[in-house]
Amino acid sequence: MKKKAIFPALCILMLGLFISSSAQEPAYKSQAVTEPKQIDGQPGDWEGADFVNFKKAGVDYAVAHDSGHLYLILVFNTEEGLSTADQGGVFIYLSQAGKKNKDVGFHFIKKVITAEEAITRMEALGEKLSEERKAQIKERKMYNLYEGEPVGKKFKADLQKVKGQRFEPAIFRGRVEQARRGPGAPGQGGFQKAVFEFKIPLQPSPGLPPLVEPGKPINLGIEWGGLTEQMKKEIMTRRAESATRATATDSRMVVSGDDPSEGGFDRGGGELDRKALPKKFNFWFGLLLGSE
Tens of pLDDT along 104-147? 999 999 999 999 999 998 888 778 899 999 999 999 999 989 99
Q: Is the pLDDT of residue 11 over 60?
A: no
Q: Which domains does the chain have, with CATH numbers?
A: 27-110+146-226+280-289 (2.60.40), 232-272 (no CATH)
Model pLDDT, residue 17: 40
Q: Is the pLDDT of residue 196 over 70?
A: yes
CA–centroid distance for 246 within its chain: 40
- Residue 205 in contact with residue 165, Cβ under 8 Å? yes
Q: Is the pLDDT of residue 14 over 70?
A: no
| Burial of 235 per CB tally in 10 Å (0-12, 13-18, 19+) | middle
* 119 vs 124: CA distance, rounded Å: 9
- Residue 224 in contact with residue 181, Cβ under 8 Å? no
* 263 vs 268: CA distance, rounded Å: 8
Q: Is the pLDDT of residue 267 over 80?
A: no
Residue range 198-240, pLDDT digits in tens: 999 999 999 999 999 989 999 999 999 999 888 888 888 888 8
Confidence of residue 19 (pLDDT cuts 50, 70, 90): very low
* 117 vs 136: CA distance, rounded Å: 14
Residue range 42-75, pLDDT digits in tens: 999 999 899 999 999 999 999 999 999 999 999 9
Q: Is the pLDDT of residue 4 over 60?
A: no
SS3 221: strand
Q: Write phi, then psi, for 193 (nearest 5 degrees).
A: -165, 170
Share of the chain above pLDDT 90, in %: 62
Closest CA to 249 of 269, 229, 223: 269
Confidence of residue 272 (pLDDT cuts 50, 70, 90): low
Q: Is the pLDDT of residue 167 over 80?
A: yes
Model pLDDT, residue 194: 96
DSSP string, 12-71: HHHHHHHHHHHHTPPPEEEEE-SSPPP-SS-GGGGTT---EEETTTTEEEEEEE-SSEEE
Q: Is the pLDDT of residue 152 over 70?
A: yes
Average pLDDT taken over every residue of the chain: 83
Model pLDDT, residue 90: 98
First to last CA, the chain: 60
One-letter identity of residue 151:
V
In this prediction, residues 24-45 reach a mean pLDDT of 90
Q: Which residues contact 70 (CB under 8 A, 6 or more apart)?
A: 30, 63, 64, 199, 200, 201, 202, 211, 212, 289
Model pLDDT, residue 185: 53
- Residue 122 in contact with residue 133, Cβ under 8 Å? no
Name which residue leads in pLDDT, 212 or 271.
212
Model pLDDT, residue 125: 77
Q: Is the pLDDT of residue 260 over 90?
A: no
Q: Is the pLDDT of residue 266 over 80?
A: no
Model pLDDT, residue 292: 55
Q: Is the pLDDT of residue 8 over 90?
A: no
* 58 vs 28: CA distance, rounded Å: 18
Model pLDDT, residue 123: 86
